[in-house]
Chain A
Amino acid sequence: MPMNIKIIDYDMGNVHSVQNALTFLGYESSLAVDASSIHEADCLILPGVGAFEDGMVSLHKKKMIEPLKEAFVRGKKILGICLGMQLLLDKSYEMGEHVGLGFIKGEVTRFSFDSEGLKIPHMGWNSLDISKKDPIFENLPETPYVYFVHSYHVKITDESLILATTHYGKPFCSAFKSGQTYGLQFHPEKSQEVGLKILKNFLENT
């Protein structure tokens, strides 16, 4: 039976970009617009761009927080992308202090640089330093380049969950995995061949 893939539509950015990539790869997917469609899914993708607080408020309004927690506890495949990755953590310091979904211990903080004159947002193609072999990164080039656009990044408490780091001023966690839940700070759906491969790996190999 084909996997029931749902992309969570909570009004935080372009869910269609992710869906376009899945369609291109030959996977059927649909948008989860309410709690019940989250229950039905085998595999959940939480995309998102924008502010952390808005994201949590929106998930709350759509009554999606509990079903997401249930999916996590039951070990469903979950992929958080960009803001979607950050929301999986305990809390964020983006414009105040806000509570997240709390699936992964850790917090989200803003980039801060002493003197290097680095721009914020961190926008463009940067490489992944893969620190842990994982099926999601199978058959990629040695240091694959992927597309980032963000001003905040995750700091996870249990560093053994980190799959890859990326260097911007200093190394930060650009991919993690806990059980069947993956978080990616970059946009696989905008990372050409490498990104499509990562999405395919997530769906097929993990």
Chain B
Amino acid sequence: MLAKRIIPCLDIQNGRVVKGVTFVDLCDVGDPVQVAQRYEEAKADELIFLDITASHEKREIMRDVVKKTAEAVFMPLTVGGGIRNISHIEDMLKSGADKVSLNTVSLENPSLIQEASKRFGSQCIVVAMDVKREPDGKYFVYTHGGRHRVNKEALQWAKEVEALGAGEILLTSMDCDGTKNGYDLEITSLISSSLSIPVIASGGVGSLEHLYEGFAKGKADAVLAASVFHFGKISIPEAKSYLKEKGVLVRN
């Protein structure tokens, strides 16, 4: 049976891991390759690298990070952040990424989803959606790291990206992100159960129970977290044994 996935997400800036990672025995906590290797040993199921470098003229740095990681770590690697066109996607895939994640550009230029999934296969095109709940209970999509509201309801957009050929959705609740109060289970479950492509829940994890809820109530296919893993509040093996006890199928 297909196991549920646990995915740590690393923010990379100018080729370095930011927001600190507290694996005590790493000689260089800023080195993405070392951090990735440590997550591989811990049996994380996939990794996501999010390039938050402000100036994307520095693309070759990220290329190099991806290349070195792919030479040392043998699990699926998704790269996102600043990917604007087909040649950026090709660059990342050729450097060793298995999937790319498209965010702002997917709304500005939805045909890129179609073009990219046709050219490289749906399986490597992840669409990242940042969503926010409004007072009337409706959810809307945001771009530019949450600065711009787009006049599109979350579920409608999710259905559109599926139809355009996206292979997976990375769904981040901006209301929950950083709160440590858990995922937005309502929108996660609505989108996941309305689509036939996998959905990754993101934003808000503070405890083991939140990971469990992401699967049990959010109906997510995978759960993503950053700081709880990086700062050692939750370890991957600990998360897996907790989920297993609760009856969620995870990989040993």
A: which residues have CB within 8 A of B?
Answer: 13-14, 16-17, 20-21, 23-24, 49-51, 117-127, 141, 145, 147-151, 167-168, 189-192, 195-196
Complex: how many Å from CA A148 to CA B46? 12
Minimum CB–CB distance from A192 to chain B (whole Å) comes to 5
Chain A CB within 8 A of B130 CB? no
Contact for B74 among A49, A127, A196, CB less than 8 A? A196
Minimum CB–CB distance from A165 to chain B (whole Å) comes to 12
| Residues from chain B with Cβ under 8 Å of A51 in the complex | 121
Contact yes or no, A13 B3, CB < 8 A: no
| Residues from chain B with Cβ under 8 Å of A167 in the complex | 1
Contact for A192 among B5, B43, B98, B222, CB less than 8 A? B43
| Residues from chain A with Cβ under 8 Å of B45 in the complex | 124-125
Chain A CB within 8 A of B71 CB? yes
Contact yes or no, B40 A192, CB < 8 A: yes
Minimum CB–CB distance from A9 to chain B (whole Å) comes to 12
How many residues belonging to B are interface residues under a CB distance threshold of 8 Å? 34
Minimum CB–CB distance from B29 to chain A (whole Å) comes to 22
Complex: how many Å from CA A51 to CA B93? 17
From residue 104 to 123 of chain B, which have CB atoms closer than 8 A to chain A? 120-123
Sampled A-B contacts (17; CB under 8 Å): A13-B120, A13-B121, A17-B70, A17-B98, A21-B74, A119-B195, A123-B123, A123-B167, A124-B3, A125-B2, A125-B3, A145-B252, A149-B76, A190-B74, A191-B74, A192-B40, A192-B75
Complex: how many Å from CA A49 to CA B117? 12
Contact yes or no, A124 B70, CB < 8 A: no
Contact yes or no, B70 A16, CB < 8 A: yes
Chain A CB within 8 A of B246 CB? no
Chain A CB within 8 A of B96 CB? yes
| Residues from chain B with Cβ under 8 Å of A125 in the complex | 2-3, 5, 45, 251
Contacts A16-B70, A17-B70; A149 near B1 (Cβ below 8 A): no
Q: Which of B43, B71, B94 has the most CB of A within 10 A?
A: B71
Chain A CB within 8 A of B221 CB? yes
> Whose C-beta in chain B lies nearest to the C-beta of A19?
B71
From residue 18 to 72 of chain B, which have CB atoms closer than 8 A to chain A? 40, 43, 45, 70-72
Q: Which of A51, A118, A119, A141 has the most CB of B within 10 A?
A: A119
Complex: how many Å from CA A23 to CA B251? 26
Contact yes or no, A50 B75, CB < 8 A: no
| Residues from chain B with Cβ under 8 Å of A118 in the complex | 2
* A interface footprint on B188-211 (CB within 8 Å = 1, 0 otherwise): 000001011110000000000000
Contact for B168 among A24, A123, A147, CB less than 8 A? A123
Chain A CB within 8 A of B124 CB? yes
Contact yes or no, A20 B167, CB < 8 A: no
Contact yes or no, B193 A117, CB < 8 A: yes
Complex: how many Å from CA A151 to CA B197? 11
Contacts A147-B75, A190-B98; A20 near B70 (Cβ below 8 A): yes
* A interface footprint on B215-252 (CB within 8 Å = 1, 0 otherwise): 00000011000000000000000000000000000011
Contact for B197 among A17, A121, A192, CB less than 8 A? A121
Q: A21-B74, A121-B198, A145-B252 are in contact. List 4 more A-B contacts (CB 8 A).
A: A51-B121, A123-B167, A124-B198, A126-B1
| Residues from chain A with Cβ under 8 Å of B252 in the complex | 141, 145
> Whose C-beta in chain A lies nearest to the C-beta of B124?
A49
Contact yes or no, B93 A189, CB < 8 A: no
> Whose C-beta in chain B lies nearest to the C-beta of A82?
B123
Contact yes or no, A145 B251, CB < 8 A: yes
Contact yes or no, A16 B96, CB < 8 A: yes
| Residues from chain B with Cβ under 8 Å of A13 in the complex | 120-121
Complex: how many Å from CA A196 to CA B94? 21
Contact yes or no, B196 A119, CB < 8 A: yes
Contact yes or no, A16 B197, CB < 8 A: no
Contact for A49 among B3, B123, B198, CB less than 8 A? B123
Contact for A123 among B70, B71, B198, B251, CB less than 8 A? B198
Contact yes or no, A14 B94, CB < 8 A: yes
Minimum CB–CB distance from A96 to chain B (whole Å) comes to 15
Contact for A14 among B96, B196, B221, B222, CB less than 8 A? B96
From residue 143 to 198 of chain B, which have CB atoms closer than 8 A to chain A? 167-168, 193, 195-198
Minimum CB–CB distance from B199 to chain A (whole Å) comes to 8
